[in-house]
Structure 1
Amino acid sequence: MRPVLLSRTVDPILGVFTGVFAYYLYETNPRTALPESERLVELAKWKWQKTVREREERLKAEEANAV
């Protein structure tokens, strides 16, 4: 039997919450002071835009080959 801290359900939730909260503190800590361009939200936006552009280019290429 594996040891549990609180319960089988609460332990994973507590772990995820702790990780997200720790990353939030890391990004907002004045000592580390990440530039806006390197924050998680900005990096996620960049990656999403890149994926959308690549998908559009691939669809245009497929349409050109189909015609």
Structure 2
Amino acid sequence: MPPPLLSRTLDPILGVFTGVFAYYLYERHPRTALPEELRLTSLLRWKREKWQQERERKLQATEDPIDWQVIAASVEAESDKPASK
């Protein structure tokens, strides 16, 4: 295994930073000129919206309607009963 360039912990951080910075430059450089809909930020935004819509759909499908008036009436009926000992 080759010796570390700076240190064991700093080398991976430097590698990740270099990769993120290189991708940023690739997206922003006028020569490559990616359209806005193909940039990482717009793709992540699209994926997040899709995930939120799917989550809402699942929550609505599993949600049972709650009749609060029936619950309130049953609580009142329970509290009106005399306590049996």
TM-score w.r.t. the length of structure 1 is 0.89
Give 1:3 deviation, angstroms: 2.1
Partner letter of residue 30 of structure 2? P
Aligned-residue CA RMSD (Å): 1.3
Q: Deviations over 1:3-54 (max 9, x none)?
A: 2111011101100110001001100111110000111110000000000000
1:9-28 equivalences under 5 Å are 9-28=9-28
Q: Who wins on radius of gyration, i.e. which is larger?
A: 2
TM-score w.r.t. the length of structure 2 is 0.71
Q: Relative contact order, CA 8 A, sep 6+: which one is greater?
A: 1
User: What runs of 5+ residues in structure 1 fail to find an aligned partner?
Assistant: none
User: SS at 1:13's partner residue?
Assistant: helix
The count of aligned residue pairs is 65
* Paired position in structure 2 for 1:61: 61
Structure having the larger proportion of residues in helix:
1
| Runs of 4+ that moved beyond 3 A | none
Distance across 2 between alignment mates of 1:31 and 1:9: 35
Identical aligned pairs, as a percentage?
A: 66
